[in-house]
Amino acid sequence: MAKQIGFSLVYRDMWQSSGKYVPRVDQLKAVAPAIIDMGCFARVETNGGGFEQINLLFGENPNIAVREWTKPFNEAGIQTHMLERGLNGIRMTPVPADVRRLMFHVKKKQGTNLARSFDGLNDVRNLENSIKFAKEAGMISQAALCITVSPVHTLEYYTQLADTLIEMGADEICLKDMAGIGRPVSLGKIVKNIKTRHPHIPVQYHGHAAPGFQMASILEVAQAGADYIDVAMEPLSWGTAHADVLAVQSMLKDAGFSVPDINMKAYMKVRSLTQSFIDDFLGYYINPKNRLMNSLLIGPGLPGGMMGSLMADLENNLASLNRWLVRNGKEELTLDDLLLKLFDEVAYIWPKVGYPPLVTPFSQYVKNLALMNVIQMEKGKERWSIIADNIWDMILGKSGKLPGEVAPELVALAKEQGREFYTGNPQDLYPDQLNEFREEMKRNNWDFGQDDEELFELAMHPEQYRAYKSGEAKAAFEKDLAERKAAKMQSDEYAPSVSVQQNDFKPKKLIVTVDGEEYEVNISYPDNDDADDEFVKSGSDIAANEKKSGNNPSSAPTEKIKELVAPLEGKFFFTKDPSEKPINVGDKVKKGDVIGYIESMKTYNTIAAEEEGTVVEICVSNGDSVFEDDVIIKLQ
């Protein structure tokens, strides 16, 4: 009798691997019946990973989304599964144990059947609670092996890892080939070893298509005994996402496996609906290059799940870097220039930071560190001159044990900066916090929600949840979307095929220099051509009308004002922990004191004072976007 292979549609990951956002709850509810009608899916990935945060970012309640989205699959007898990051839960940073426990209970009651748990370092200590809490909540515990290729990630390494996780109580094992760089034959050997030693344990394979191994890998793991295969479908298959179910079904059927038939009418319905969501608004956050496969990814091993956001990060940092290059009389870089430099730097630093598997959050950490190195070296500075706090935590062992050894130069740098390496259980560093968040809910008269799901949301994503509750998140998303739509309309209007008079191209902003000071000029075009332009200093609300009104430097205070500026671009926050006290006007600051943090590419960078003095002005608000060299505070 032919071996049966089950398919799992990774509808959440299809979107995350393509761009920044996922569909709204009304769109998810619309597409669910057609997915069910396809008749070929044993499982559907409905939530986890970035799903919760993304809903909050565009002002939607993720708890409503999960309940409404999982309900039709539960009723149809299709298992739903989520992705969670072990110590980090469903965010980028470590989570207290009591919040992690609540997560599994909430997600089970919301309709999620299976929890796929992974640790980015494959540290089993970080997965022990995930397995325990999932089973306590009545969920299927699926423990994942994060697949990568290095001298330490051998067949024996993965076989022993699976043995340990099964001994801990994992019900299933997943091969999480997040970058798609697992070599097909080696993946088959891992599956064969697991099935030989644990024939009753279901094995699921998850891989990405971009490097080009995907179909061969699927065939190898199926022949070795895998039970489930994760698949995607058009218009979000291939590229940085996953193999299409049509191709996988045909290949496995030809190989003699028992695979379900596909209702093609329903397939086309899902395809059409998904495309309509892209046309609605999601396409504004999807880089067309993410539809391409790229074997250059074999070298750096960056995962498909982060490639959707990588291109946006590169574009933002490229603009900032090119501004600096132009100011300093240097030649600008293209996006391809920066991408190749980044890939080379990732390959260079990866062994030096101990071969962490390149999966969330460590793929972002390694990529961000490499990108900061590239940018700093382009500016003539040294490698390692900017290392974010989260990245230091990884290097120092606070996130778990690294598979390899940290390079001596980083060990020396840590010692120079007074940083200590940690060898204890990472969970011990993050004490329980639910009671603190309960008190905040009570102070604000916020509803705890069904099964404490709103309390969970605040505890898991404090900043995003507060912005959601205040309405700031929705307003910011709608503003950003409106700007993207306007930019798209303008680019279409002024496409090369359209004939336009040269003087119709009117700039909206300019960067000008006045007496050595740079100003960002916002230009409007009123009916009165003689109206004054408005000069606004970048990073502050201070108008530069002194130049127009005849004021001169001699009228300035005699004591010199010192400006503390942003060393990189991102979002500025005064604190990153409830125990910290934000800086205020009148505070005395010493050199080296922390004045805030810049969140850039999902990592927090500590901003320390390079001067001492008294704070006389704070030029940014909490959560403001800042560019490199924007003034944050002024000292006297």
* Residue 75 resides in a domain: yes
pLDDT, residue 44, reads 98
Are 310 and 456 found together in one domain?
A: no
Consecutive H or E run containing 441: helix 434-443
Cα 623 to chain centroid, rounded: 17
Instruction: For residues 539 and 555, give the distance between their C-alpha atoms in angstroms, rounded to a whole number.
Output: 23
Computed over every residue of the chain, the mean pLDDT equals 86
- Judged against a pLDDT cut of 50, whether residue 516 lies above it is answered with no
Instruction: For residues 474 and 487, give the distance between their C-alpha atoms in angstroms, rounded to a whole number.
Output: 20
* Residue 170 resides in a domain: yes
pLDDT in tens, 489-504: 877 765 554 333 333 4
pLDDT in tens, 115-159: 999 999 999 999 999 999 999 999 999 999 999 999 999 999 999
Nearest to 243 by CA among 272, 212, 266, 203: 212
Are 524 and 391 found together in one domain?
A: no
Instruction: For residues 89 and 521, give the distance between their C-alpha atoms in angstroms, rounded to a whole number.
Output: 44
Which of 269, 290, 311 finishes a domain? 290
pLDDT in tens, 430-446: 999 999 999 999 999 99
Joined tokens for residue 292: 């391409």
Is the four-CA dihedral 435, 437, 440, 444 of positive or negative sign?
Answer: negative
Which of 235, 261, 290 finishes a domain? 290
- Judged against a pLDDT cut of 90, whether residue 519 lies above it is answered with no
The residue behind tokens 């990529």 is: 367
- 3-state SS of 33-66 is HHHHHCCCEEEEEEEECCHHHHHHHCCCCHHHHH
Are 167 and 277 found together in one domain?
A: yes
DSSP one-letter code for 590: -
Overall residue count recorded for the chain in this entry: 636
Low-confidence winner among 268-282, 368-382, 578-592 (lowest mean pLDDT): 578-592
Are 168 and 196 found together in one domain?
A: yes
pLDDT, residue 526, reads 41
Q: Are 440 and 447 in contact (CB under 8 A)?
A: no
Are 115 and 41 found together in one domain?
A: yes
Q: Are 65 and 55 in contact (CB under 8 A)?
A: yes
Are 151 and 276 found together in one domain?
A: yes
pLDDT, residue 361, reads 83
pTM, rounded to two decimals: 0.79
Are 109 and 36 found together in one domain?
A: yes
- Judged against a pLDDT cut of 70, whether residue 311 lies above it is answered with no
DSSP one-letter code for 178: T
Joined tokens for residue 315: 């574009």
Are 16 and 136 found together in one domain?
A: yes
Burial class of residue 595 in the structure, from the number of CB atoms within 10 Å of its CB (0-12 exposed, 13-18 middle, 19+ buried):
buried
Instruction: For residues 629 and 369, give the distance between their C-alpha atoms in angstroms, rounded to a whole number.
Output: 20
Are 128 and 243 found together in one domain?
A: yes
Mean pLDDT to the nearest integer, 479-484:
90
User: In sequence order, what are the beta bridge partners of 143?
Assistant: 117, 173
Phi/psi zone of residue 122: left (φ > 0), alpha (ψ -120 to 50 degrees), beta?
left
Q: Are 100 and 130 in contact (CB under 8 A)?
A: yes
Q: Are 406 and 121 in contact (CB under 8 A)?
A: no
Q: Are 126 and 164 in contact (CB under 8 A)?
A: no
Q: Which domain holds residue 57?
A: 6-290
The residue behind tokens 């494959």 is: 122
Nearest to 11 by CA among 262, 113, 36: 36
The residue behind tokens 């080939």 is: 177
Are 230 and 284 found together in one domain?
A: yes
- Predicted confidence band at 512 (pLDDT cuts at 50, 70, 90)? very low
Q: Are 155 and 186 in contact (CB under 8 A)?
A: yes
Are 360 and 453 found together in one domain?
A: no
Count of domains for the chain: 6
Are 458 and 370 found together in one domain?
A: no
* Residue 174 resides in a domain: yes
Mean pLDDT to the nearest integer, 481-496:
78
Q: Which whole-number Å values give the CA distances from 250 to 38, 206, 267, 457, 627, in the listed order?
A: 15, 18, 15, 41, 50
* Residue 347 resides in a domain: yes
Mean pLDDT to the nearest integer, 329-336:
88
Instruction: For residues 520 and 536, give the distance between their C-alpha atoms in angstroms, rounded to a whole number.
Output: 6
Mean pLDDT to the nearest integer, 234-254:
96
pLDDT, residue 95, reads 95
